[in-house]
């Protein structure tokens, strides 16, 4: 039986939906929050450059970017757990472009192979009601194509 996970994510929120049929009647199965991603750079760590024996250096990756990567790793762990437990056969990913790039870079290869569609949109900030309405409109054709392959 096919089961599709629809994941809507940005740097601070992720919603996991499941659908086992072609119509976009999605069931919310999990929510993840990462409020640290919303903090200002100065709230996440020192705003002073680091020091080494030759003087100052700028950190290679900002604290804000590290928080995004931390959240992507948490999201990817959920996707890997779902893959290993056969909870889904395909993923539809909806995330803003930079966050999608992080997911693509950090997700296990076997999870990446199951991402059949992606949309470069940031809908994770929508209310749950608005998000579900938007997803029904957005995913009608996508889900049909996944279920009727």
Average pLDDT over residues 81-94: 97
Number of domains observed in the structure of the chain: 1
Helices (H), the chain: 41-44, 63-84, 97-106, 109-112, 128-147
List pLDDT tens digits, range 35-74.
665 555 555 564 445 545 555 555 566 777 788 899 999 9
What per-residue confidence (pLDDT) applies to 47?
47
- The whole-angstrom separation of Cα 34 and Cα 49 is 25
State the pLDDT confidence band at 34, using cuts at 50, 70 and 90: confident
Asked if 24 and 135 count as a contact pair (C-beta separation under 8 A), the reply is yes
Determine what percent of the chain is predicted with pLDDT higher than 90: 60
Average pLDDT over residues 77-82: 97
What per-residue confidence (pLDDT) applies to 54?
55
Full residue range of the structural domain in which residue 79 is found: 4-147
Match 């990567």 to its residue by tokens.
69
List pLDDT tens digits, range 112-129.
999 999 999 999 999 999
Is residue 145's pLDDT more than 80? yes
The CATH number of the domain where 31 resides is what?
A: 3.30.420.60
């Amino acid at each position: 039986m096919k089961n599709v996970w629809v994941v809507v994510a940005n740097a601070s929120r992720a919603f996991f939906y499941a659908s086992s049929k072609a119509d976009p009647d999605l069931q919310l199965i999990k929510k993840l929050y990462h409020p640290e991603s919303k903090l200002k750079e100065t709230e996440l760590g020192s705003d002073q450059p680091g020091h080494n024996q030759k003087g100052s250096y700028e950190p290679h990756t900002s604290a804000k970017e590290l928080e995004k990567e931390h959240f992507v790793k948490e999201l990817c762990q959920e996707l890997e757990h779902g893959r290993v437990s056969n909870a889904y056969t395909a993923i539809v990913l909806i995330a803003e472009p930079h966050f999608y790039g992080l997911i693509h870079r950090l997700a296990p290869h076997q999870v990446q192979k199951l991402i059949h569609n992606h949309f470069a949109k940031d809908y994770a900030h929508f209310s749950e009601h608005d998000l579900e309405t938007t997803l029904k409109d957005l995913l009608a054709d996508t889900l049909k194509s996944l279920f009727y392959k």
